[in-house]
A and B are shown apart, each in its own frame.
Chain A
Amino acid sequence: MNRISTWIRDERGVALPLAMILLMVLTLMTITFMSLGAVEPQISKNLSDAARARQLAESGIEWAMSTQIGNQDLNSSTLLGGTMTTGGACGTGNTCRVLATAGTLPGLTSSAGTFAVTLRNDLNTNAGDQQLIGTNVTRDSSTTVDSNGLVILTSTGTYNGAVRSITAVVSRGNLNINAAVSLPGVQTDTYTDAPPCSGCYSIDGRDWKLADTSSPTGATPTKLGIATYTGTETNTGLSYEANAEAGFDSSAKRGYVQGKDVNDGSGDASGTGRRTIAADSSLTPTIIQNFVSNLAANPLTQVLNSTQACQYSSGSSSKPEGLRMQSTSTANVVTVKNNCSGADQINQTVNLGTATSPALLYIKGEFDPSSNFIGLAVSGSQNITGYGILVVEEADLSFFQTSQFKWNGIVIVTGRNVGVGFRANSNTEIRGALIANETYGAEAGGYFEFLNQAATMKIRYGKEAIDLALRGLYNTRISGYREN
Chain B
Amino acid sequence: MSNERGYTLAEMMVVCAIVGLVMASLLGLVMTGQRAYWYGTTQVDAQQTARVAVERMVKEIREAGYYPQAPTPITTGACATMLCYQYSFDAIGNSPSATSLTLQYDWNGDGVSAASGKVNDPILCATGSGCRGERITYSFSGGALTRQEVGVDSSPLTIASGITSLAFTYLAADGTVTSTPSEIRTIGVSVTAQTDTKGAYVTMSDRIRLRNR
Q: Is the CB of A127 within 8 A of B73?
A: no
Q: Is the CB of A171 within 8 A of B70?
A: yes
Q: Is the CB of A299 within 8 A of B81?
A: yes
* B contact set with A: CB distance below 8 Å: 4-7, 44, 48, 51, 55, 59, 62-63, 66-75, 79-85, 107-111, 120-124, 128, 211-212
Q: Which residues of A contact B70 (CB under 8 A)?
A: 134, 137, 149-150, 171, 479
The distance in angstroms between the C-alpha atoms of A479 and B109, with both chains bound, is: 11
Q: How far is the CB of B5 from chain A (nearest CB, A)?
A: 6
**Per-residue 0/1 for A121-155: is the Cβ within 8 Å of any B Cβ (1 yes, 0 no)?**
00000011111111111000000000001100000
The distance in angstroms between the C-alpha atoms of A381 and B123, with both chains bound, is: 60
Q: Which residues of B contact A169 (CB under 8 A)?
A: 68-69
Q: How far is the CB of B182 from chain A (nearest CB, A)?
A: 17
The distance in angstroms between the C-alpha atoms of A480 and B67, with both chains bound, is: 5
The distance in angstroms between the C-alpha atoms of A129 and B120, with both chains bound, is: 12
The distance in angstroms between the C-alpha atoms of A478 and B212, with both chains bound, is: 7
In the complex, residue of chain B having the shortest beta-carbon distance to the beta carbon of A134: B69
* A contact set with B: CB distance below 8 Å: 5, 8-9, 12, 40, 43, 47, 127-137, 149-150, 167, 169, 171, 293-294, 296-299, 303, 478-484
Q: List 19 A-B contacts (CB under 8 A).
A: A8-B7, A12-B4, A43-B48, A127-B122, A130-B122, A131-B120, A131-B121, A132-B122, A133-B69, A133-B109, A134-B69, A135-B110, A150-B69, A297-B79, A299-B81, A480-B67, A480-B69, A481-B66, A484-B123
Q: Is the CB of B128 within 8 A of A127?
A: yes
Q: Is the CB of B75 within 8 A of A296?
A: yes
The distance in angstroms between the C-alpha atoms of A171 and B71, with both chains bound, is: 9
Q: Is the CB of B69 within 8 A of A136?
A: yes
| Nearest 10 Cβ contacts at the A-B interface | A134-B69, A128-B122, A8-B6, A480-B68, A297-B73, A171-B70, A481-B211, A131-B109, A296-B75, A134-B109
Q: How far is the CB of A315 from chain B (nearest CB, A)?
A: 27
Q: A297-B74, A478-B211 are in contact. Are A132 and B6 (CB under 8 A)?
A: no
Q: Which residue of B4, B75, B111 is within 8 Å of A135 (Cβ)?
A: B111
Q: Is the CB of B83 within 8 A of A297?
A: yes
Q: Is the CB of B75 within 8 A of A293?
A: yes
Q: Is the CB of B63 within 8 A of A482?
A: yes
Q: Which residues of A contact B84 (CB under 8 A)?
A: 297
The distance in angstroms between the C-alpha atoms of A127 and B120, with both chains bound, is: 12
Q: Which residue of B75, B80, B212 is within 8 Å of A480 (Cβ)?
A: B212
In the complex, residue of chain A having the shortest beta-carbon distance to the beta carbon of B85: A297
Q: Is the CB of A293 within 8 A of B72?
A: yes
Q: A12-B4, A43-B48, A127-B122 are in contact. Are A482 and B66 (CB under 8 A)?
A: yes
How many A-B contacts at CB < 8 Å in the complex? 103
Q: A133-B68, A135-B109 are in contact. Are A296 and B73 (CB under 8 A)?
A: yes
Q: How far is the CB of A306 from chain B (nearest CB, A)?
A: 15
Q: How far is the CB of B11 from chain A (nearest CB, A)?
A: 12
Contacts A131-B68, A132-B123, A481-B212 known; list 16 others, CB within 8 Å.
Answer: A8-B7, A43-B48, A128-B122, A130-B109, A131-B108, A132-B68, A134-B67, A134-B68, A136-B69, A150-B69, A293-B75, A297-B75, A297-B85, A479-B71, A480-B66, A480-B67
Q: Which residues of B contact A293 (CB under 8 A)?
A: 72-73, 75
Q: Is the CB of B111 within 8 A of A136?
A: yes
Q: A127-B122, A297-B75 are in contact. Are A9 and B6 (CB under 8 A)?
A: yes
The distance in angstroms between the C-alpha atoms of A297 and B108, with both chains bound, is: 27
Q: Is the CB of B212 within 8 A of A5?
A: no
Q: Which residue of B44, B71, B74, B109 is within 8 Å of A132 (Cβ)?
A: B109
Q: Is the CB of B73 within 8 A of A294?
A: yes
The distance in angstroms between the C-alpha atoms of A445 and B172, with both chains bound, is: 52
The distance in angstroms between the C-alpha atoms of A274 and B76, with both chains bound, is: 42
The distance in angstroms between the C-alpha atoms of A482 and B4, with both chains bound, is: 80
Q: How far is the CB of A477 from chain B (nearest CB, A)?
A: 8
Q: Which residues of B contact A47 (CB under 8 A)?
A: 51, 55
Q: Which residues of B contact A480 (CB under 8 A)?
A: 66-69, 212
The distance in angstroms between the C-alpha atoms of A223 and B205, with both chains bound, is: 57
Q: Which residue of A299, A478, A481 is within 8 Å of B82 (Cβ)?
A: A299
Q: How far is the CB of A481 from chain B (nearest CB, A)?
A: 4
The distance in angstroms between the C-alpha atoms of A247 and B82, with both chains bound, is: 42
